[in-house]
Structures are given as structure tokens and as C-alpha cells.
Amino acid sequence: MNAAQEISPVNSSPRRPVDSLDTPVRVSPEGPAPVVAAEPPKLTVKNLDAWYGSNHALHGVNLTVPPRSVMAAIGPSGCGKSTFLRCLNRMHELIPGARAEGTLLIDGQDLLSRDVDPVTLRRRVGMVFQRPNPFPTMSIRDNVAAGLKLNGIPGNHHEIVERTLRQSALWDEVKDRLDASALSLSGGQQQRLCIARALAVQPEVLLMDEPASALDPIATAKIEDLIHELKERYTIVIVTHNMQQAGRVSDQTAFFYMGDLIEVGPTEKIFTNPSEKRTEDYVTGKFG
Ligand SMILES: Nc1ncnc2c1ncn2[C@@H]1O[C@H](COP(=O)(O)OP(=O)(O)O)[C@@H](O)[C@H]1O
Ligand SMILES: [Mg+2]
């Protein structure tokens, strides 16, 4: 199935359809808007290389992600999108034989530095995976609270569980059965539960690796709406193989191909006027 045949959720939300991305910018009659100093990036990636043994999977990736924005990583299967994401919270180094080199800054702080405890880092940079992976033996409530206990986070865990379930748009569906097994939820609910679990420890950055690819169109639309809401507070990097989804949810898009970051820029530019021929061929479906 190609991207064009995939989901086309009802467009009832602020999600932007790809074909309306090139709306002209209106110039105000009062003259140009005041210049606002650009905020420093939340994430800065410099010369990032990653290997699995001798397989050089990422080659010198450079990009920045502004705070409270969504970056989509797109590209054909095997091009390094998941590897890139796992480098951002140092899960890459957990794979036997895998290593990464380069500079990764969060608010200017070097994440790859030996002084940074990877567990603390993973609290600041949360991750949601392709397949919902709730802890199967735990209740809905305990799944959300799991990270709070693991990290020894004080406070009223009942309140935090309710707040994060509301934030992940699941509360109304589960409030009467918080002690039921997480596995009693549908796939889409399980994925929102995993998002709640990631949010409970109050991360700053949320990484999502094809979070909707195992879900039906309605559940996918809910996740996309949620991403829109979450970006008011969080910086999000999402891998998706679905280009319409990238167009709907992201501010910037990064196109990866065979371990290279070919091009990164505003999503509307990547989809309507990319600088690189390979980007154009990919987004117009010439290969993939
Ligand atoms: N756990 C792993 N062990 C060894 N090689 C891996 C592993 N994960 C990915 N790779 C290799 O790294 C490259 C990039 O893969 P990946 O990041 O999973 O791509 P994508 O997410 O874009 O499909 C591929 O050549 C893949 O075979
Ligand atoms: Mg992947």
C-alpha cells in the first residue's frame, strides 16, 4: 500500500491538508510584523553518525528543532529514521554493538556527554513506539504511574494519573475502570495510554516512532489531534512513513535516504518546493 492509499481522516481539526500548505502569507496593512527574536532550538543535532557494528546507518546528520514544534522524519524503510530517533534519547547505545558519535544538545546541554545520566535524559526525552507496548500485567492506572515510581517522583500519583490521562485524551474512556488491565483497551487506547505513560514524568521532548501505523483511521486521527494539542507544551519528533500524516502534523520535515539527511525544512516547502531532486521524487511517490 502506498502513502496515497492510506488513511484520509476527517478534517475536523486544525490539521492542515497537504494541498493547502502553500497559502500565501498575508501582509498586514499596518506594515511589517515586529521582528521577534527566534527562540534558541530545543534540540540541536551536529554531525551525528550511528553504527550497528560495521553498518554505518547514519551519516553526519545536522538539524535543529525549535521548542514547541513538531518535526516529522520521513523516508523509505531502512533509511535510518528509527536509528535517528533512538539516538535522541540514547536508546541506540543499548543495542549490542551499536554506537553513535556527534553532538546532541537539549537546551544547549550535551546529551552524549558522559556526565549525563541516560536515565535522567530519558525522563526529559520520552518515547512512544510503533506498537503500543503497555506493561501487560499492570492496570491502566499502574501503567501511567510506572515511570513516576521508577524515577521516584513525589506528589499525588492519583492526580498525576488523572491529569496525564486527560492530556492524552483517554480519561473519559477509562475513568471508570482505572484498575482494569491495560490489555482490556483497544489498540488506539493502548497507544494513548503509552503516550500518557510517557507524559506522566513530564518530559520536554516526545519522540514518536510511527505511533499510528498499527492503528485504524479513527484512532490515527485521535493521535494526530493529540499531537496538535501536545505541541503547545512539548517538542515532538515523529517518524512517519505516511506523507499525508507528515503534512498534517508537522511544522518541519526531515527527509532521510540511505542514512543521509537529504533535506530538512518547513513542511510546506518540503512537500511543494523541495530543493533536492531526491526529496521531490520521494514526496511525489516516484520511489519509496
Ligand atoms: N537493532 C539493529 N541491529 C542492527 N542493525 C539495525 C538495527 N536496527 C536498524 N538497523 C539497520 O540500520 C539501518 C537503518 O534502520 P532503521 O533506523 O530501522 O530505518 P527506518 O526506521 O528508516 O526504517 C538499516 O540498515 C537497518 O538494517
Ligand atoms: Mg523505523
pLDDT band at 151 (very low <50, low <70, confident <90, very high): confident
Q: What is the pLDDT of residues 66-114, one digit of tens each?
A: 999 999 999 999 999 999 999 999 999 999 999 999 999 999 989 877 7
Return phi, psi of residue 213, to 5°. -70, -15
How many angstroms does the Cα of residue 219 sit away from the middle of ligand 2? Answer: 20
CATH number at 39-283? 3.40.50.300
Q: Contact, 222 vs 48, CB < 8 A?
A: no
Q: Return the pLDDT at 112.
A: 79
Q: What is the pLDDT of residues 211-259, one digit of tens each?
A: 999 889 998 999 999 999 999 999 999 999 899 999 999 999 999 999 9
Question: Residue 58's closest CA among 200, 228, 259?
Answer: 259
How many angstroms does the Cα of residue 242 sit away from the middle of ligand 2? Answer: 12
Mutate to test the pocket of ligand 1, among 49, 55, 258 (most ligand atoms within 8 A of CB): 55
**Ligand 1: which atom is nearest the Cα of residue 259?**
14
Mention every residue, 6+ apart, whose C-beta is less than 8 A from residue 91: 122, 127
**Ligand 1: which atom is nearest the Cα of residue 73?**
22
Mean pLDDT along residues 259-287: 96
Nearest CA to ligand 1 atom 24: 78
pTM for the model: 0.86
As residues whose CB is below 5 A from the ion ligand 2, the structure lists 82
Q: Which ligand is nearest to the CA of 261?
A: 1
- In this structure, which amino acid lies at residue 24? P
Q: Which ligand is nearest to the CA of 79?
A: 1
22: three-class secondary structure by DSSP: coil
Q: Which ligand is nearest to the CA of 73?
A: 1
Q: Return the pLDDT at 35.
A: 64
**Ligand 1: which atom is nearest the Cα of residue 80?**
17
Pocket of ligand 1 (CB under 6 A): 52, 55, 57, 75, 77-83, 95
Task: Please check the confidence at residue 21 and state whether its pLDDT lies above 50.
Answer: no
35: three-class secondary structure by DSSP: coil
Question: Residue 208's closest CA among 108, 125, 105?
Answer: 125
**Weakest-pLDDT range from 25-34, 94-103, 194-203, 229-238:** 25-34
Return phi, psi of residue 163, to 5°. -60, -45
